[in-house]
């Protein structure tokens, strides 16, 4: 283990711990203040003496549930939230069933019953939207907002325009791709290539946001094919394996690591249909990316390629600078408000520091578990701050540093290319995802009461 990296990691964790302890005392959950804020903004808090309104409660549950599914929350979280909403609205007998693409709600109580279903998962949410959805959820599940105000706020969130324009978002994707390549072990040439390819991929992703979802598979294969053709051509020209990271870094947003880990998490909690569905979707995404890479190898004529060879890192300080660049860039590309960026950087540095300290001692799989174990309560504590972003906003970038999706992509590409080593890599990828899921479960047990004020 490099002594400089170890010292930096230990110092970062120490500073982060001091900051988290300092802000912990400021996070006071004050429902009265939240209710006053809701009134001032034109919303109405739920009053216990009000008679339950199943129709309004059902509309609110459908609105919140579909938005949470599209934001990427697990079905367990969605069901917990909607159950709390039903309780505070005087309908404690309500039943909720959530899936990755639908939400079914039966609003029941006081002799009344209404049942409804709504499709979900038809789009994606940017970080700014996820943050506002979480704030609405926090207010809804504690009775700060009445059902009509909930529906209105969710409607406004869906109508939100991206904070940043297409040019800054595309440039930010180039920067995050270059920064991630540093963490994956690229040379300076590889970093430049990753940034250039990231610019092209980022622009393509922004264009694809306006394309019907049924063409998503073609877009995924096309992007992977383009990136791989460029990398393989340069490899044949003698650029060296230092550019290999450019094959993975530009595809980071397309890697389904978070989806697959959520699938493992849901399966472990008994949500068989949702977990199996997400697992199938994640594996299909990996197959599409792997198919694009293998097709590029066949077109260019690269008979063999080694994903595992890593050149020397660009010095001990470069990865730490790359974490900051990655954090700011992903915040801009996914349109997080400026106030969220310091919190995102804090979580990213905690995640990376934990990996740096643990990985040389116990290996990557256990390091993934420890990283998720450490990051989960940190994201919950950050979300508990009045100005802190939703836990999902800070956890998602930190998760990409754990890179289980990249491992899965390697295994699928090897298997499609006829490499017998692909099976071993696939097992390692699955083990990593299980480790992260277990880390999230263990970390959640430490942070299940950390809810931020409902503002």
Kindly state the DSSP code that residue 437 receives in the 8-state scheme. Answer: H
Q: Are residues 368 and 219 in the same domain?
A: yes
| Cα–Cα dist 201/216, whole Å | 14
What are residue 349's phi and psi, to 5 degrees? -70, -35
Distance of CA 401 to the CA centre of its chain: 11
Report if residue 126 sits inside a domain.
yes
Q: Are residues 70 and 148 in the same domain?
A: yes
Q: What is the pLDDT, as a whole number, of residue 32? A: 37
Q: Are residues 210 and 321 in the same domain?
A: yes
Greatest Cα pair distance, the chain, in angstroms, is 76
Report if residue 5 sits inside a domain.
no
Q: Are residues 116 and 148 in the same domain?
A: yes
Q: Are residues 248 and 343 in the same domain?
A: yes
Report if residue 24 sits inside a domain.
no
Q: Are residues 60 and 131 in the same domain?
A: yes
pLDDT beneath 70, residues of the chain: 1-2, 23-51, 109-110, 121, 302-313, 363-364, 402-430, 445-455
| Cα–Cα dist 346/218, whole Å | 37
Q: Are residues 129 and 200 in the same domain?
A: no
Q: What is the pLDDT, as a whole number, of residue 24? A: 61
Q: What is the pLDDT, as a whole number, of residue 438? A: 79
Report if residue 33 sits inside a domain.
no
Q: Are residues 214 and 170 in the same domain?
A: yes
| Cα–Cα dist 150/133, whole Å | 10
How confident is the model over 294-334, as pLDDT tens digits?
888 888 876 555 555 555 567 788 889 999 999 999 999 99
Report if residue 42 sits inside a domain.
no
Report if residue 4 sits inside a domain.
no
Residue 260, domain extent: 166-447
Place of tokens 């697990």: 74
- The residue among 130, 158, 186 that closes a domain is 158
Report if residue 390 sits inside a domain.
yes
> By the 8 A CB rule, do 247 and 228 touch?
yes
Q: What is the pLDDT, as a whole number, of residue 35? A: 39
- The residue among 137, 158, 179 that closes a domain is 158
Residue 105 parent element (H or E): strand 102-109
Question: For the CA atoms of 125, 131, 137, 138, what is the dihedral angle to 10 degrees?
Answer: 170
> By the 8 A CB rule, do 162 and 169 touch?
yes
| Cα–Cα dist 341/328, whole Å | 6
Q: What is the pLDDT, as a whole number, of residue 6? A: 81
| Cα–Cα dist 18/10, whole Å | 12
* DSSP E strands, 56-111: 95-99, 102-109
What sign does the dihedral 327-331-336-339 (CA atoms) show? positive
Q: Are residues 275 and 355 in the same domain?
A: yes
Q: Are residues 391 and 267 in the same domain?
A: yes
How confident is the model over 262-291, as pLDDT tens digits?
887 888 888 888 889 988 988 888 889 888
Q: What is the pLDDT, as a whole number, of residue 60? A: 92
Q: Are residues 178 and 232 in the same domain?
A: yes
What are residue 403's phi and psi, to 5 degrees? 55, 40
How many domains does the chain contain in total? 2
- The residue among 128, 158, 188 that closes a domain is 158
Q: Are residues 94 and 171 in the same domain?
A: no
Report if residue 23 sits inside a domain.
no
Rg (CA), the chain: 22
Distance of CA 353 to the CA centre of its chain: 19
Q: What is the pTM of this model?
A: 0.84
Q: What is the pLDDT, as a whole number, of residue 42? A: 47
């Amino acid at each position: 283990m490099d002594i400089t990296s170890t010292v930096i990691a230990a110092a970062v964790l120490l500073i982060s711990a001091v900051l988290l302890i300092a802000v912990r005392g400021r996070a006071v959950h004050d429902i009265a203040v939240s209710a006053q804020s809701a009134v001032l903004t034109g919303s109405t808090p739920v009053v216990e003496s009000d008679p339950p309104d199943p129709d309004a409660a059902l509309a609110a549950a459908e609105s919140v549930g579909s938005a949470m599914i599209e934001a990427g929350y697990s079905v367990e979280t969605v069901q917990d939230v909607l159950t709390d909403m039903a309780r505070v609205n005087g309908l404690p007998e309500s039943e909720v069933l959530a899936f990755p693409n639908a939400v079914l709600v039966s609003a029941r109580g006081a002799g009344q019953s209404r049942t409804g279903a709504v499709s979900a998962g038809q789009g994606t949410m940017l970080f700014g939207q996820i943050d506002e959805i979480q704030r609405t959820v926090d207010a809804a599940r504690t009775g700060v907002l009445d059902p009509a105000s909930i529906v209105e706020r969710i409607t406004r969130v869906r109508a939100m325009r991206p904070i940043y324009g297409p040019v800054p978002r595309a440039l930010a994707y180039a920067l995050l791709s270059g920064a991630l390549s540093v963490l994956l072990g690229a040379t300076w040439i590889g970093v430049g290539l990753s940034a250039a390819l990231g610019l092209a991929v980022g622009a393509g992703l922004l264009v694809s946001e306006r394309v019907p979802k049924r063409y998503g598979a073609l877009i995924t294969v096309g992007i992977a094919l383009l990136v791989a053709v460029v990398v393989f051509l340069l490899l044949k020209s003698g650029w060296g394996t230092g550019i290999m990271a450019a094959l993975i870094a530009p595809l980071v947003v397309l890697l389904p690591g978070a989806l697959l880990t959520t699938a493992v998490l849901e399966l472990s909690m008994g949500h068989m249909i949702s977990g199996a569905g997400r697992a199938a979707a994640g594996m299909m995404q990996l197959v599409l990316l792997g198919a694009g890479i293998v097709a590029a190898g066949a077109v260019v004529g690269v008979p063999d390629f080694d994903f595992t060879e890593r050149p020397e890192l660009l010095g001990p300080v470069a990865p730490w600078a790359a974490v900051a660049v990655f954090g700011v860039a992903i915040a801009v590309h996914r349109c997080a408000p400026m106030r969220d960026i310091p919190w995102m950087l804090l979580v990213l540095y905690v995640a990376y520091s934990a990996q740096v300290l643990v990985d040389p001692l116990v290996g990557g799989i256990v390091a993934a578990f420890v990283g998720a174990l450490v990051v989960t309560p940190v994201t919950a504590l950050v979300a508990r701050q009045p100005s802190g972003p939703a836990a999902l906003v800070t956890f998602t970038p930190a998760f990409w540093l754990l890179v289980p999706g990249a491992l899965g992509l390697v295994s699928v590409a090897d298997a499609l290319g006829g490499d017998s080593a692909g099976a071993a890599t696939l097992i390692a990828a699955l083990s990593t995802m299980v480790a992260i899921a277990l880390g999230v479960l263990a970390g959640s047990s430490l942070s299940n009461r950390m809810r931020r004020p409902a503002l």
